[in-house]
């Protein structure tokens, strides 16, 4: 049976994945409190639909840093997509391209970025950057992303160390033969250690990532590239103001899908203070727990310019390759379209704050 919604895609994917891969994709840090909170907080928000609006014509077109996306749903950066399907990032890129939306490509992709950019035609690929201790490698990665045709840099700032994901510790998570961190091959950083006691990914982060990176360094990074810089992983107003001051052009309000600091505030609950703090100076995006079209609508009502979709894209990919990833995106977009119609919204601009109230 064809999955009817994103939850059913997860069930379909689970049947196809090894338990280790499923756990890596699905899991969160610690007790997974934040993972659950991302969902629960959406459910606590209620909609106040407006009626008797002529909704015969609707558009969800969305301008994200100059990329004309067909929908306010971008694909979140996610590592190791070839663990989900042999076509990995290429399938996701084709799905995002066919859906006319942006794919954010992880630094820890398992496919060379040039191939991904080509597969994503019409290409709207943003490159997600992890900052390595090795500044030369970091700079080379940025340069390569520019040359490959990526159109923005998404710097993830919530992961100096990897959160402790106990499922991965238990499974001693690492990459199977033939799956590599493709874009770091030239720097001898393309493998996860297998001799690690726990998570090979946690050991990799500890060895490779720059834990001393600060706002000052971010300003440096911004000057080394002509690409717009988006900071991913902000949950507070003061950090949002620092991001603006550092010259960033976008902020992703995110707790990394509950995979980093367990107990961190739900992403949707952190959104209003970030939106208020930046006062429209830069774009604000949100990810974490988006599973229904109404979640997207709630995020936009609370001031997000767009949302990023994480795990469900991997569930679609695992279940049915490019077609599954595309259908997962399409299902969510169709749900958003319906939610807009039922709320009396004909465009994203009409999705305003007064549509949402905290449920009693």
Binding site for ligand LAC (CB under 6 A): 79, 108, 159, 256, 259
209 or 346: CB nearest ligand FNR: 209
Residue placing its CB nearer to ligand LAC in the complex, 67 or 159: 159
> At which residue do the structure tokens 């709630």 appear?
298
Q: Which residue is nearest to ligand FNR (CB)?
A: 310
CB nearer to ligand FNR: give 332 or 345: 332
| Beta strand ranges found along the chain (DSSP E) | 45-47, 62-64, 67-69, 73-75, 103-105, 125-129, 153-156, 229-234, 250-253, 283-287, 306-309, 356-358
Residue 100 annotated among the catalytic residues of the structure:
no
Residue pair 80/51 in contact (Cβ under 8 Å)? The answer is no
Question: What is the nearest approach in angstroms of ligand FNR to the Cβ of residue 22?
Answer: 10
CB of 323 to ligand FNR, least distance (A): 20
Q: Is the dihedral of CA 145, 225, 127, 96 positive or negative?
A: negative
Task: Give me the catalytic one of 85, 100, 180, 256.
Answer: 256
Interaction pattern, residues 323-352, with ligand FNR; x per rule: CB under 6 A: ------------------------------
Beta bridge mates, 60: none
Nearest to 64 by CA among 100, 108, 114, 113: 100
Dihedrals phi, psi of 50, to nearest 5 degrees: -100, 135
Q: Is 250 in the site for ligand FNR (CB under 6 A)?
A: no
Interface with ligand FNR (CB under 6 A), residue from 257, 293, 316, 324? 257
Task: Give me the phi and psi of 6, to 5 degrees please.
Answer: -70, -30
Instruction: Report which of 338, 329, 336, 286 is spatially closest to residue 9, judged by C-alpha positions.
Output: 329
Q: Provide the mask over 109-128, with x wherever binding to ligand FNR is found by CB under 6 A and - wherever it is not.
A: -------------------x
**Spatial distance between the Cα atoms of 76 and 258, rounded to a whole number of angstroms:** 14
Q: Of the candidates 76, 221, 270, 340, which one interacts with ligand FNR according to CB under 6 A?
A: 76
Q: Which residues are catalytic?
A: 256
Residues that bind ligand FNR (CB under 6 A): 24-25, 38, 76-79, 106, 108, 128, 156, 232, 254, 256-257, 259, 287-290, 309-311
């Amino acid at each position: 049976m064809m999955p009817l919604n994103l939850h059913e895609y997860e069930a379909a994917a689970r049947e196809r994945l090894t338990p280790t891969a499923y756990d890596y994709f699905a899991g969160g840090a610690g007790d997974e409190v934040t993972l659950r909170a991302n969902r629960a907080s959406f459910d606590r928000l209620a909609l106040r639909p407006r009626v008797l609006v002529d909704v015969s014509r609707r558009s969800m077109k969305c301008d994200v840093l100059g990329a004309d996306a067909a929908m306010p749903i971008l694909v979140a950066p996610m590592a190791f997509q070839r663990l989900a399907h042999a076509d990995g990032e290429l399938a996701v890129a084709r799905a995002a391209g066919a859906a006319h939306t942006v794919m954010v490509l992880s630094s820890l992709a398992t496919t060379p970025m040039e191939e991904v950019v080509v597969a994503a035609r019409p290409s709207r690929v943003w490159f997600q950057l992890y900052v390595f201790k090795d500044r030369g490698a970091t700079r080379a990665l940025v340069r390569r992303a520019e040359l490959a045709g990526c159109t923005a840099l998404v710097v993830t700032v919530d992961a100096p160390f990897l959160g402790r994901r106990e499922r991965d510790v238990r499974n001693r998570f690492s990459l199977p033969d033939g799956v590599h961190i493709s874009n770091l091959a030239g720097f001898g950083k393309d493998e996860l250690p297998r001799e690690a006691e726990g998570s090979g990914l946690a050991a990799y982060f500890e060895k490779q990532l720059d834990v001393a990176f600060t706002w000052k360094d971010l300003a440096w990074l911004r000057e080394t590239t002509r690409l717009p810089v988006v900071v991913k992983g902000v949950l507070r107003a003061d950090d949002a103001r620092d991001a603006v001051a550092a010259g960033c052009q976008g902020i992703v309000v995110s707790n990394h899908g509950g995979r980093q600091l367990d107990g961190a505030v739900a992403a949707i609950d952190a959104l209003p203070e970030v939106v208020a703090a930046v006062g429209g100076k830069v774009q604000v995006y949100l990810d974490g727990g988006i599973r229904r079209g109404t979640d997207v609508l709630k995020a936009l009502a609370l001031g997000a310019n767009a949302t990023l979709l994480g795990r469900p894209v991997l569930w679609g990919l695992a279940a049915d390759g490019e077609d599954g990833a595309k259908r997962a995106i399409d299902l969510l977009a169709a749900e958003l379209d319906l939610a807009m119609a039922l709320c009396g919204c004909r465009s994203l601009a009409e999705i305003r704050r007064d549509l949402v109230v905290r449920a009693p």
